[in-house]
Amino acid sequence: METLNKVTVINLKNAIAASQNFLLSQQYPEGYWWGELESNVTIISEIILLHKIWGTDKNRPLSKVETYLRSQQRDHGGWELFYEDGGELSTTVEAYMALKILGVSEIDPALIKAKKFILERGGITKTRIFTKLHLALIGCYDWRGIPSIPPWIMLLPEGAPFTIYEMSSWARSSTVPLLIVFDKKPIFRFDSHLNLDELYVEGRQNAIFELPKNNDWTDIFLGLDQIFKFAELFNVVPLREQGLKAAEQWILERQEITGDWAGIIPAMLNSLLALKCLNYSVSDPIIQRGLEAIDNFAIETEETYRMQACVSPVWDTAWVIRALIESGITPDHNTIVKSSEWLIRQQILDYGDWNIKNKQGKPGGWAFEFTNQFYPDLDDSAVVVMALNQAKIPDESLKIATIIRGIDWMISMQCQAGGWAAFDIDNDQDWINAVPYGDLKAMIDPNTADVTARVIEMLGELDPNCSEYQFKIQSLKPTIERAISYLKQEQETDGSWFGRWGVNYIYGTSGVLSALAVIYPIYKNWGHSSLKPMMKRGENWLVSCQNIDGGWGETCRSYNDPQLKGKGVSTASQTAWALIGLIATGQVTGNYEMQAIEQGINYLISTQLSDGRWDESEFTGTGFPGHFYIKYHYYQYYFPLLALGRYQKLQQL
């Protein structure tokens, strides 16, 4: 194997040390790490509206939002879903709405530019359903153009062809409160002069407020919507009051003690809107806790105020632990011990919504956020177990028991198709994405290659010297075989794998290759055919999309255009993912793509900042493919360190 020259060896060691020192300096006193979760301006725009509706706007520094929104507007006049996407209609309409609510005149240069951008793209009537919903709340769109969802769906029994538990956790936690809002159809007149009539291309008076046709089988839902609206008009909705009461009770039962709902802003915002429609008082403790929970997602600087859609301390902490240990920090370092013990305390030991369709499983997962008892997820849980497995803490017996409990929960969540989803089991009725309300195409949570790979990687990484773990692995032979079969089926013809939760095929391919590499010895010992051919195809694909600068990058547009798979400006996080996948494959085949790997390593070293960080503007995290993207501010820190650490181990430096 080729080795780096002396200068590059020194640069590698210096890069690793600088990155380690930076991350060590960022740990919170409680033991966790936590980076910003940046998305788009619709989140803060909708929160402005919420505070205006509740009359709590004077208690928050919302005047700083204007500065933030202005800073995010691009030269073309619009606001973006992700970095340099050219602007997006619905996002821009909501930002425009927020600025007008804040008192900005429509003749302000920023709004004049935004108005031109909006009208050129079809105006309000071409926006997504959730944008129209927020406009309807203030009388700027007609409720006739919003889908109707009958409250009686709350009463459908387990075992019915459809219940609310066939929706993904995020869709469910956001939709149940909207059953109340859609039923009440409120219009909140906190400003009698507020309107957005200027954003209708055809003129507000000429607008047609109806759901668009698709001219295919899905138009059957438009017919159902007309039936639902007829029943509303004549007040003959079956079991209406019982359904509304059940929705209210569901919301109240799922509020965390911290005030959160599902750990995401849409569920929190919609729940507060629903309770407002039910005439809850702003002084009610439930409302106060809910508003405070939203405040905890805010980031305030001297000049700006913005809002995160979610927070990621468990996720960030687990990855930082892995990156630090694999880059040379001792597993019993006091920083590692403190963070590991914090993660152990975060394990969820209560039953959540997952239990509705999984009666056998016992609690033991982890959530993404500080508090989210109802919605632990498989991705976080698997990474936490891998982090704890690598760490050494004073009470190793507690750690092992924690890991075993986590594994048992995850195994119980395997889907019939053989893979794992993010939050639920067999949440895969794709027809639900076709309902008019589901225009983000994110109404379900099917098993995916990236989450499945994470669980398999976790099982493969368990300490082979721990008898409890090895006994567990041997008992899971059918589980692992089904999962490997699923991953084989999911591989694309070019060798890549789709990335549901990260952008995109680089993320998915790296994750699967990492999983196959660590499970390979176990799988081989069971007498199965080699995994090397499928891994080699994945490796070849990664090498084929390396950029000329040595890095890797993939645009969010690859979710909409397969021609853009693996193509984009190089980023630190995506370069790290590619390197992790290539190194993993080489460990199995014994034949490393050293030229590609070294070029990638040198890209990371050359782009590192003097303080040990990396910087990237691109969004490399995925919320809803095609519709919602995330920039995890820590991705550009811990994934490069993890890649450098694995390369250092490869070179035995």
pLDDT tens, position by position, 559-603: 999 999 999 999 999 999 999 999 999 999 999 999 999 999 999
- Is residue 33 within 8 Å of residue 313, measured between CB atoms? yes
Q: How confident is the model at residue 5 (pLDDT cuts 50, 70, 90)?
A: low
Q: State the CB neighbour count (10 A cutoff) for residue 441.
A: 14
Helix, strand, coil percentages (3-state) for the chain, rounded to 5, are 55, 5, 40
Q: State the CB neighbour count (10 A cutoff) for residue 628.
A: 22
Tokens 């017919």 found at: 223
* Predicted local confidence at residue 215, as pLDDT: 84
- Residue 136 Cα to chain centre, angstroms: 27
What CATH number labels 9-36+310-413+448-651? 1.50.10.20
600 is written with which tokens? 């990638």
3-state class (DSSP) for residue 48: helix
Task: In whole angstroms, give the CA distance from residue 324 to residue 641.
Answer: 7
305 backbone φψ class: left, alpha, beta (φ>0; ψ -120 to 50)? beta
Tokens 């387990």 found at: 158
* Predicted local confidence at residue 35, as pLDDT: 97
In which element (H, E) is residue 449 found?
helix 449-461
* Predicted local confidence at residue 149, as pLDDT: 94
Q: How confident is the model at residue 6 (pLDDT cuts 50, 70, 90)?
A: low
Tokens 């992700």 found at: 82
Any alpha helices (H) in 305-433, and if so which ranges? 313-326, 334-345, 378-390, 396-412
User: Domain spans of the chain?
Assistant: 9-36+310-413+448-651, 40-203+214-307
Mean pLDDT across the stretch 369-385? 97
pTM exceeding the 0.75 threshold for the entire prediction: yes
Please enumerate in sequence order all residues whose Cβ is within 8 A of that of 222, keeping only pairs 6 or more positions apart, or say none.
Answer: 211, 213, 436
pLDDT tens, position by position, 315-334: 999 999 999 999 999 999 99
pLDDT tens, position by position, 8-22: 888 999 999 999 999
Q: How confident is the model at residue 4 (pLDDT cuts 50, 70, 90)?
A: low
Mean pLDDT across the stretch 187-214? 92
Task: In whole angstroms, give the CA distance from residue 289 to residue 28.
Answer: 24
Tell me which of 621 and 474 has the higher pLDDT: 621
* Predicted local confidence at residue 509, as pLDDT: 98
pLDDT at 527 over 90: no
Please enumerate in sequence order all residues whose Cβ is within 8 A of that of 504, keeping only pairs 6 or more positions apart, or say none.
Answer: 498, 554, 556, 558, 559, 565, 622, 625
- Pairing label, strands 628-632, 305-307: unpaired
* Predicted local confidence at residue 403, as pLDDT: 97
Print the SS3 string covering 10-22: HHHHHHHHHHHHH
Task: Provide, rounded to the nearest whole percent, the portion of the chain with pLDDT above 70.
Answer: 99
Please enumerate in sequence order all residues whose Cβ is within 8 A of that of 489, keeping only pairs 6 or more positions apart, or say none.
Answer: none
Q: State the CB neighbour count (10 A cutoff) for residue 184.
A: 16
pLDDT at 46 over 70: yes
Within this chain, domains 9-36+310-413+448-651 and 40-203+214-307 share the same CATH topology: yes
pLDDT at 401 over 80: yes
Give 604: exposed, middle or buried? Use CB within 10 Å, 0-12, 13-18, 19+: buried
pLDDT tens, position by position, 627-645: 999 999 999 999 999 999 9
Backbone angles phi, psi at 228, to 5 degrees: -60, -40
The pLDDT mean for the chain works out to: 95
* Among the listed residues 592, 641, 26, the one whose alpha carbon sits nearest the alpha carbon of residue 328: 641
- Is residue 273 within 8 Å of residue 47, measured between CB atoms? no
* Predicted local confidence at residue 463, as pLDDT: 85
- Is residue 403 within 8 Å of residue 432, measured between CB atoms? no
Q: What is the DSSP letter of 533?
A: H
Q: How confident is the model at residue 1 (pLDDT cuts 50, 70, 90)?
A: very low
Active site residues per annotation: 379
* CATH fold of the domain at 40-203+214-307: Glycosyltransferase (1.50.10)
pLDDT at 553 over 70: yes
pLDDT at 426 over 80: yes
369 backbone φψ class: left, alpha, beta (φ>0; ψ -120 to 50)? beta
Q: Which long-range contacts (CB under 8 A, 24 or more apart) does 370-373 make?
A: 370/258, 370/311, 370/313, 370/314, 370/346, 371/256, 371/257, 371/258, 371/260, 371/263, 372/256, 372/260, 372/262, 372/263, 372/348, 373/256, 373/348
Task: In whole angstroms, give the CA distance from residue 381 to residue 476.
Answer: 18
C-alpha distances (whole Å) from 118 to each of 102, 112, 114, 122, 132 are: 19, 10, 6, 7, 14
Task: In whole angstroms, give the CA distance from residue 328 to residue 404.
Answer: 26
DSSP 219-265: GHHHHHHHHHHHHHHTT--TTHHHHHHHHHHHHHHTB-TTS-BTTSH
pLDDT tens, position by position, 286-308: 999 999 999 999 999 999 999 99
pLDDT at 135 over 90: yes
Please enumerate in sequence order all residues whose Cβ is within 8 A of that of 545, keeping only pairs 6 or more positions apart, or say none.
Answer: 506, 552, 554, 565, 566, 567
Mean pLDDT across the stretch 178-192? 94
- Residue 39's DSSP bridge partners are none
User: What is the C-alpha radius of gyration for the chain, rounded to an integer number of angstroms?
Assistant: 25
